[in-house]
């Protein structure tokens, strides 16, 4: 602008140290009002224009070794000013020769992250408090300092680099933060974590700093968090969670926390209840971490029995978002057709909520197998060719079903759901080696047959009902005769070679061997007591017992008539090697947010005590974003832990870099826009057992840097997104209202 040009154009009258300096006034936008005027003192505007004026940005470009104290800048206090100083580099040294001290500011100005100078409200702003000078060819590299790896500490270095490049935290710890340390907080660490972090941050932002060895910080960390002691690899997000909480408690401005009892919503408006919860939270928690990093979400619990609704509003420091692949579970079941027949066994693979209920499984399976409106499914778990339980309660958790289980869903008509149920267990005679001697023994084989009975039925009806199920797999007469001929020849060869076959015990397991070349049927109970069923006598069905268990003993002749190979094996619910062969998945960050706020039942280990039922219930839970912080930390839940396995998901998450818009995801937005920009990423490469952590950090413009322990180097913006992204750091973009 003209006045700036006039003030800086005459280099001939300046000392050599001040030549070739330029101060550029770059306004974002200003009013076109005719009342805006300029004079030799700067810019001024009328009060009516202030709503139209955007912050005035001054960029000071340093081209030669210069003492910034020689610059004096005066601006009317009616103008919003942002001064950015570029040209700070590693070669900067303090005037007094001390190397490991941060540049100090006094008076009304202070150094902010990326060089911003914040001024108090005075008509004139002076930068004469700067106490260091600049050298030639210095390219603004403050903060580009690595951290030495002390032995598997890359997880710590990654998290620290992201935090020490969080704008408001950098400003806070470069100032006199010591006055806010709370030494008396029993939940804190006597201020030692805050002091260690602040000292480390100042070293990382010191001019001319070489890679820093964070030994003091690690020793303090190990003292207060023994889980991070030693030199094993750990989780950067777990460290981050501990550090944010520790910094908050060490810097908590509340010296004496009042006791406040949480109140139920009692059908009051959500806005009133949320504000009450937030006010109560701030009464006990007030720190720079709360100011910058904490938000609030709404939690709604609903009892599945009495439908009691409980609403609370809880603070959060970061969001842990599930990857959609972790919210769903793939399950394979075998469906037995209602028309009967082992040949009608069909496997179906479905997707159900990981923490869903059994009703979710039956709903998905009904769709997959095109279940008729007049049909129903009865699901059973089969183990060792026997049914060990029926899955009938729709509220049971799917977590009760293990991956190695084998499930069969039997189709039947709805009109006979109340009829007695019969379970046929197929058995055949096999030889068993007992102490070196072959002994005949009846053993279950195939898939159990399930059917509904009429009240008046005899043994012959029961037999026909059972054989109807096997009729579709009965071999043709020619094939059966051929097998008989081959069997006859085998017997003749055995007789010629004098091969002896063991005699079968006719009373093995208390059951007779079928003597007529057919099948024998036995009623059995839970105690193992068996009674043979007569074909001509009616079955006595007890009115109280709606389940009959029948053992069907097959003769070798009968087995040859049917293709029983079809019923030998069942697929497991889930094969562990299945996902390993699939290509890496891709999902947007917005899908992860939707999975986070989706209603789902609590796990069996997280049962909720319902105040209405006075019992623990597996309630459904829904989360909604209510209040968002200035700094939003998003943790992608890549690591899965269970009793039997540990796994890392390599899902590629497509996250916005320049504009994360959460306006549609916040329940209490009041029409405001919630836009965020990415400024740091903690990455994890490799598997669960090993792997390596790095950090990506934004450093102005489109320039990004990778912090790989002590190595720091620029990277292209295109490389920011990868399947290694683990923790994302966003800062909110505040728009100026006009």
Provide the annotated active-site residues. 154, 692
d(CA 491, CA 577): 44
CA–centroid distance for 12 within its chain: 64
d(CA 404, CA 422): 26
- 85's enclosing H/E stretch is strand 81-86
- Under DSSP, the state recorded for 147 is B
d(CA 426, CA 443): 8
* Biggest alpha carbon–alpha carbon distance for the chain: 126
Q: Compute the chain's Rg from CA coordinates.
A: 38
Do 153 and 214 form a contact (C-beta atoms < 8 A)?
yes
Q: Is 685 exposed, middle or buried (0-12, 13-18, 19+ CB in 10 A)?
A: middle
Alpha-carbon distances, residue 427 vs 508, 539, 551, 558, 564 (angstroms): 12, 21, 7, 12, 12
Backbone phi, psi, residue 516, to 5°? -100, 15
Do 445 and 568 form a contact (C-beta atoms < 8 A)?
yes
What beta strand segments (E) does 472-628 contain? 519-524, 530-532, 547-554, 586-588, 600-601, 608-610, 615-617, 620-627
Do 313 and 299 form a contact (C-beta atoms < 8 A)?
yes
Do 377 and 371 form a contact (C-beta atoms < 8 A)?
yes
Which tokens in the block code for residue 158? 């990654």
Q: Report the 10 Å Cβ neighbour count for 352.
A: 21
Q: Is 145 exposed, middle or buried (0-12, 13-18, 19+ CB in 10 A)?
A: buried
Q: Is 638 exposed, middle or buried (0-12, 13-18, 19+ CB in 10 A)?
A: buried
Backbone phi, psi, residue 220, to 5°? -65, -40
d(CA 127, CA 131): 10
**Three-class SS of residue 513?**
coil
Q: Identify the CA nearest to 510 among candidates 522, 518, 502.
A: 522
- 38's enclosing H/E stretch is strand 37-39
Which tokens in the block code for residue 64? 């030669």
Q: Identify the CA nearest to 250 among candidates 162, 159, 179, 167.
A: 179
* Residue positions counted in the chain: 738
Which tokens in the block code for residue 642? 């269970």
Q: Identify the CA nearest to 196 among candidates 210, 209, 177, 168.
A: 177
CA atoms within 13 A on the CB side of 463: 17
d(CA 576, CA 267): 47
DSSP per position, 215-284: HHHHHHHHHH-GGG-TT----HHHHHHHHHHHHHHHT-S-SSPPP------TT--HHHHHHHHHHHHHHH
Do 653 and 725 form a contact (C-beta atoms < 8 A)?
yes
């Amino acid at each position: 602008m003209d006045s700036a040009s006039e003030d800086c154009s005459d280099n001939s009258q300046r000392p050599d140290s001040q030549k070739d300096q330029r101060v550029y006034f770059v306004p974002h936008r200003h009013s076109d009002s005719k009342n805006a005027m300029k004079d030799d003192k700067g810019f001024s505007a009328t009060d009516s224009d202030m709503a139209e004026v955007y912050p005035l940005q001054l960029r000071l470009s340093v081209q030669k070794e210069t003492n910034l104290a020689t610059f004096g800048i005066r601006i009317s206090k009616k103008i919003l000013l942002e001064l950015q100083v570029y040209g700070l580099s590693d070669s900067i040294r303090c005037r007094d020769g001390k190397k490991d001290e941060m540049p100090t500011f006094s008076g009304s100005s202070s150094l902010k992250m990326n060089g911003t100078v914040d001024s108090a409200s005075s008509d004139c702003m002076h930068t004469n408090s700067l106490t260091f000078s600049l050298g030639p060819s210095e390219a603004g590299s403050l903060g580009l300092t690595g951290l030495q790896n002390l032995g598997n500490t890359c997880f710590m270095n990654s998290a620290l680099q992201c935090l020490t490049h969080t704008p408001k935290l950098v400003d806070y710890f470069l100032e006199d933060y010591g006055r806010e340390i709370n030494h008396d907080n029993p939940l804190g660490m006597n201020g030692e974590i805050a002091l260690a972090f602040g000292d480390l941050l100042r070293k990382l932002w010191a001019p001319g700093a070489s890679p820093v060895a964070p030994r003091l910080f690690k020793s303090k960390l190990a003292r207060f968090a023994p889980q991070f002691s030693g030199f094993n690899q750990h989780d950067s997000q777990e460290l981050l969670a501990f550090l944010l909480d520790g910094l908050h408690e060490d810097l908590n401005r509340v010296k004496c926390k009042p006791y406040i009892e949480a109140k139920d919503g009692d059908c009051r408006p959500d806005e009133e209840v949320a504000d009450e919860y937030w006010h109560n939270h701030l009464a006990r928690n007030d720190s720079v971490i709360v100011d910058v990093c904490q938000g609030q979400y709404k939690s709604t619990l609903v009892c599945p029995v009495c439908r009691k609704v409980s609403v609370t509003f809880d603070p959060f420091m970061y969001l842990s978002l599930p990857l959609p692949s972790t919210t769903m579970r793939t399950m394979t079941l075998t469906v037995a057709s209602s028309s009967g027949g082992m040949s009608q066994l069909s496997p179906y693979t479905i997707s159900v909520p990981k923490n869903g209920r059994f009703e979710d499984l039956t709903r998905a399976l009904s769709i997959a197998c095109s279940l008729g409106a007049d049909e129903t499914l009865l699901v059973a778990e089969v183990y060792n060719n026997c049914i060990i339980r029926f899955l009938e309660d729709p509220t049971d958790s799917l977590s009760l079903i293990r991956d190695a289980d084998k499930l069969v869903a039997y189709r039947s008509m709805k009109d006979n759901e109340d009829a007695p149920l019969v379970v046929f267990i197929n058995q055949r005679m096999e030889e068993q080696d007992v102490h070196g001697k072959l002994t005949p023994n009846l053993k279950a084989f195939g898939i159990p047959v399930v059917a509904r009975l009429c009240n008046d039925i005899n043994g012959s009806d029961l037999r026909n009902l059972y054989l109807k199920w096997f009729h579709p797999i009965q071999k043709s007469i020619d094939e059966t005769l051929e097998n008989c001929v081959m069997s006859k020849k085998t017997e003749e060869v055995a007789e010629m070679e004098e091969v002896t076959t063991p005699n079968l015990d006719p009373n093995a397991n208390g059951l007779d061997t079928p003597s007529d070349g057919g099948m024998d049927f036995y009623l059995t109970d839970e105690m193992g007591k068996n009674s043979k069923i007569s074909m001509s006598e009616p079955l006595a069905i007890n009115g109280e017992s709606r389940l009959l268990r029948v053992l069907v003993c097959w003769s070798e002749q009968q087995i040859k008539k049917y293709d029983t190979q079809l019923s030998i094996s069942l697929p497991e619910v889930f094969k562990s090697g299945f996902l390993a062969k699939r290509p890496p998945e891709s999902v947007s960050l917005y899908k992860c947010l939707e999975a986070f706020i989706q209603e789902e039942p609590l796990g069996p280990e997280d049962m909720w005590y319902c105040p209405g039922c006075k019992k623990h219930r597996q309630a459904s839970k829904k989360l909604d974003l209510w209040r968002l912080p200035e700094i939003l930390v998003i943790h992608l839940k890549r690591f899965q832990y269970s009793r039997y396995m540990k796994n890392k998901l390599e899902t590629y998450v497509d996250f916005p870099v320049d504009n994360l818009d959460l306006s549609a995801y916040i329940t209490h937005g009041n029409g405001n826009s919630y836009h965020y920009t990415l400024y740091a990423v903690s990455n994890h490469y490799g598997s669960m057992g090993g792997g390596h952590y790095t950090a990506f950090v934004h450093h102005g413009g489109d320039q990004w840097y990778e912090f790989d322990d002590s190595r720091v180097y620029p990277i292209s913006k295109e490389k920011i997104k990868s399947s290694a992204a683990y923790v994302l750091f966003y800062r909110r973009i505040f728009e100026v209202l006009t």
